[in-house]
Amino acid sequence: MSAHPADAAIPHTVEPHPITGIPNGKFGIWLFLASEVMLFGALFSSYVLIRTQAAHWPPEGGLSSEILNVPLATLNTAVLITSSITMVLAWASCKLGRLDRFRLWMGSTIALSFVFLVIKYFEYTHKFHDGHFPSTNNFYAIYFTMTGLHGLHVIGGIVVNTFLLTAGTWLWKVDREHFTNRVENAGLYWHFVDLVWIFLFPSLYLL
Amino acid sequence: MAETADHSSAEEFKKHLGKYYVVFVALLCLTAVTVGVSYLKLNRPLAIAVALVIASVKAGLVAGVFMHLISEKKVIYAVLILTAAFFLLVLLLPSLTIFESVAA
């Protein structure tokens, strides 16, 4: 028995499954994203409930946009949107058979993910410095929980994307289409992380 | 689209790349619009409506084009319709319960 990972034949990594019409990996990632919708959905639901029941929001008075840093969050929105298109281009490069371009775009995606986290770090430390913690009130509890969970997802994306950029590229040499599908699936996850932020940004910072 | 492109149609595939840039620029513009509108200090229901509409358009662009949802297989639509139904349930149910108890 050969020890090479490519010999361990997992069915339908490239050719579509006869029932679903798509490769299993893609079906799997969409089911995972469905569960992610419920995870963030429950938090959004809690947010709506807590906020509609509050006498004032934020409880300390003023507006969310005055308490949170809108310019930094706007910049972070742009960073995340940019990382989404670099992710698409990384996948497209695989489709076009260009591993060098893939490395460039995937590297950019990971770099932008770190930029997002660094900006988030500045936001957090500024809040901590001013004595605002998740335990301060419901506003900060919601803010830290939702952006924190989103931040964990960004870190998860960095881990997967870094694997695909480094050790994971062995698959490119063995089965290009399979590798391309992995990049596509990582991309689906990454765009979802962008999508969550698209709703988090206005509902936490602007409204 | 992902399924139709193969090595022989690389040129054909390249032509599709333009739309990703269009969506990218549209997303940046819509971000600027949503931040700009927030400075207008609209009344709350209108502000919420405008922000949610813009966010939904942005989400639609990301899901439709970046995630290729415009041309996906039926099984994924089925999963997403179920997800949307349960999402609405989890989103609305707690609030509806509160409103009912207030009314009663």
pLDDT tens per residue, range B25-60: 999 999 999 999 999 989 988 999 999 999 999 999
CB of A97 within 8 A of CB of B10?
A: yes
Query: Alpha-carbon distance A18 to A65, whole Å?
Result: 51
Asked if pLDDT for residue A4 goes beyond 70, the answer is no
Tell whether A2 is covered by a domain: no
B25 interaction partners in chain A (CB closer than 8 Å): none
> What is the domain range of residue B46?
1-72
A95 interaction partners in chain B (CB closer than 8 Å): 2, 5, 10, 13
How many pairs of residues across A and B have Cβ atoms under 8 Å apart? Answer: 128
CB atoms within 10 A of CB B22: 11
How many distinct structural domains can be found in chain A?
Answer: 1
How many distinct structural domains can be found in chain B?
Answer: 2
Nearest CA among A111, A40, A135, A184 for reference residue B68: A184
What's the 3-state SS for chain B?
CCCCCCHHHHHHHHHHCHHHHHHHHHHHHHHHHHHHHHCCCCCHHHHHHHHHHHHHHHHHHHHHHHCCHHHCCHHHHHHHHHHHHHHHHHHHHHHHHHHHHHHC
Residues B42 and B77 in one domain: no
Residues B11 and B38 in one domain: yes
Query: Alpha-carbon distance A158 to A152, whole Å?
Result: 10
Tell whether A90 is covered by a domain: yes
Nearest CA among A79, A75, A45, A35 for reference residue A189: A35
Q: Which residues of A147-176 are buried (b: 16+ CB within 10 A; e: fewer)?
A: beebbebbeebbebbbebbeebeebbeeeb
Residues B97 and B50 in one domain: no
Tell whether A1 is covered by a domain: no
Query: CA-CA-CA-CA torsion for A40, A43, A45, A47, nearest 10 degrees?
Result: -130
Do residue B75 and residue A22 have CB atoms under 8 angstroms apart? yes
B95 interaction partners in chain A (CB closer than 8 Å): 45, 48-49, 52
Using a 10 angstrom Cβ sphere, with 0-12 exposed, 13-18 middle and 19 or more buried, the burial of residue A63 is: middle
Query: Alpha-carbon distance A171 to A169, whole Å?
Result: 5
Q: Is the ipTM of this complex over 0.85?
A: yes
Nearest CA among B4, B1, B66, B72 for reference residue A109: B66
Query: Alpha-carbon distance B55 to A197, whole Å?
Result: 10
The pLDDT value given to residue A72: 97
Do residue B66 and residue A187 have CB atoms under 8 angstroms apart? yes
Tell whether A175 is covered by a domain: yes
Do residue A202 and residue B2 have CB atoms under 8 angstroms apart? no
pLDDT in tens, A112-139: 999 999 999 999 999 999 999 999 999 9
Tell whether A94 is covered by a domain: yes
Asked if pLDDT for residue B9 goes beyond 90, the answer is no
- Mutation choice for B interface testing from A39, A81, A192, A196 by most B CBs within 10 A: A81
Nearest CA in chain A to B82: A34
The pLDDT value given to residue A13: 86
Single-letter amino acid code for the residue at B20? Y
Q: Where is average pLDDT lowest: A197-206, B9-18, B36-45, B57-66?
A: B9-18
Do residue B76 and residue A65 have CB atoms under 8 angstroms apart? no
